[in-house]
């Protein structure tokens, strides 16, 4: 800085220094260093990415090996005789024997709990008209458990000279020679026109369905003296007792009330009544050996 004095007061002049110019060599060196730094960073980044890819691939390969090994092991166990069925337990049967159910089930001799088809076995058992439902379960390590629900006989039905057992749900069970072939002895149903029976199918007869509902609605006391149900038409459905009393019940509606009225009349007119009509519960009628008073 130079100080210059004038007449009045001194002047101060500041001299600016020009920045030092870099030469071409320095510029090239700095540029080379920058490129080297960037290249190093890029290589480090690519190295990290390669390492990550290798680790991910290794994990997937290891997982694939484990899955394949597990599948191979499971297939081997599935095809082997591991958990072979050595015991078949049958529950819920009373009319069919264990052997009859097992013949229907047809469990393969080489069955294992892993390979056995429980739905197929249950379906085979349900082909018996006596079986309403079958459930088959695996009980490891070696037991197959079969639980059945059997149908109950609802009546023995006359079709011409033949006698057929029909279940309470309307399924035709089997043909028998006489009512006494079924225990406990069911009610005999007769007088129904145009009946056809085929084992394992359900009846489409409205008269027969109504008769079955009538029988189901009887009290034990009244059912104990009913020897037959005659049902040529629904409204003419009648009970015949062991004492030769005819009881017209008609439709199976209000059976509890109809049953109660019939039992009361039988008790009050013991030994006298031969005919009772409870088709209409609010106007029941009866006839005896003598005219009703």
- Could you report the per-residue pLDDT of 226-279, keeping only the tens digit for each? 999 999 999 999 999 999 999 999 999 999 999 999 999 999 999 999 999 999
Confidence (pLDDT) at 153: 96
Query: How far from 276 is each of 71, 212, 215, CA to CA, in Å?
Result: 75, 20, 17
pLDDT at 127 over 50: yes
Summarize the confidence of residues 30-59 as an average pLDDT.
Answer: 80
User: Between residues 228 and 54, which one has the greater pLDDT?
Assistant: 228
Confidence (pLDDT) at 167: 98
Q: Is the dihedral of CA 233, 239, 240, 245 positive or negative?
A: negative
The 10s digit of each residue's pLDDT in 84-124 is 999 999 999 999 999 999 999 999 999 999 999 999 999 99
The 10s digit of each residue's pLDDT in 177-213 is 999 899 889 999 999 999 999 999 999 999 999 999 9
pTM of the model: 0.72
Strands (E), the chain: 2-5, 10-13, 87-91, 131-139, 143-150, 153-159, 162-167, 172-176, 187-190, 226-230, 238-241, 246-248, 273-277, 285-288
User: Between residues 288 and 78, which one has the greater pLDDT?
Assistant: 288
1, 14 Cβ separation under 8 angstroms: yes
Q: What's the mean pLDDT when you consider all of the chain? A: 87
**Ramachandran angles phi, psi of 157, nearest 5°:** -110, 135
Range 190-195 contact pairs with CB under 8 angstroms and sequence separation of 24 or more: 190/157, 190/158, 190/228, 190/229, 190/230, 191/158, 191/230, 191/231, 191/232, 192/157, 192/158, 192/231, 192/232, 193/232, 195/157, 195/159
């Amino acid at each position: 800085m130079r100080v210059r004095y004038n007449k009045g007061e001194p002047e101060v002049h500041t001299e600016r220094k020009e920045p030092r110019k870099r030469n071409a060599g320095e510029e090239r060196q700095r540029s080379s260093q920058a490129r080297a730094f960037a290249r190093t960073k890029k290589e480090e980044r690519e190295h990290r990415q390669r390492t990550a890819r290798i680790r991910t691939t290794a994990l997937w390969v290891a997982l694939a090996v484990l899955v394949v090994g597990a599948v191979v092991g499971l297939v081997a166990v599935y095809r082997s005789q591991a958990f072979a069925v050595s015991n078949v337990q049958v529950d819920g049967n009373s009319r069919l024997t264990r052997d009859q159910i097992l013949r229907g089930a047809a469990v393969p001799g080489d069955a294992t709990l892993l390979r056995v088809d429980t739905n197929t076995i249950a379906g085979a058992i349900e082909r018996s008209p006596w079986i309403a439902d079958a459930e088959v379960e695996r009980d490891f390590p070696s037991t197959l458990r079969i639980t059945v629900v059997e149908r109950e006989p609802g009546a023995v039905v006359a079709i011409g000279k033949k006698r057929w057992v029909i279940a309470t749900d309307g399924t035709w069970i089997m043909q028998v020679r006489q009512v006494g072939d079924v225990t406990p002895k069911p009610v005999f149903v007769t007088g129904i026109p145009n009946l056809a029976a085929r084992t394992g199918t359900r009846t489409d007869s409205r008269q027969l369905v109504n008769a079955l509902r009538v029988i189901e609605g009887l009290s034990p006391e009244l059912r104990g003296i009913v020897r037959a149900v005659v049902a040529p038409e629904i409204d003419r459905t009648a009970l015949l007792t062991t004492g030769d009393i005819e009881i017209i019940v008609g439709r199976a509606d209000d059976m509890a009330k109809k049953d109660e009225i019939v039992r009361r009349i039988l008790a009050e007119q013991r030994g006298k009544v031969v005919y009772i009509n409870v088709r209409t519960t609010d106007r029941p009628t009866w006839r005896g050996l003598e005219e009703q008073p």
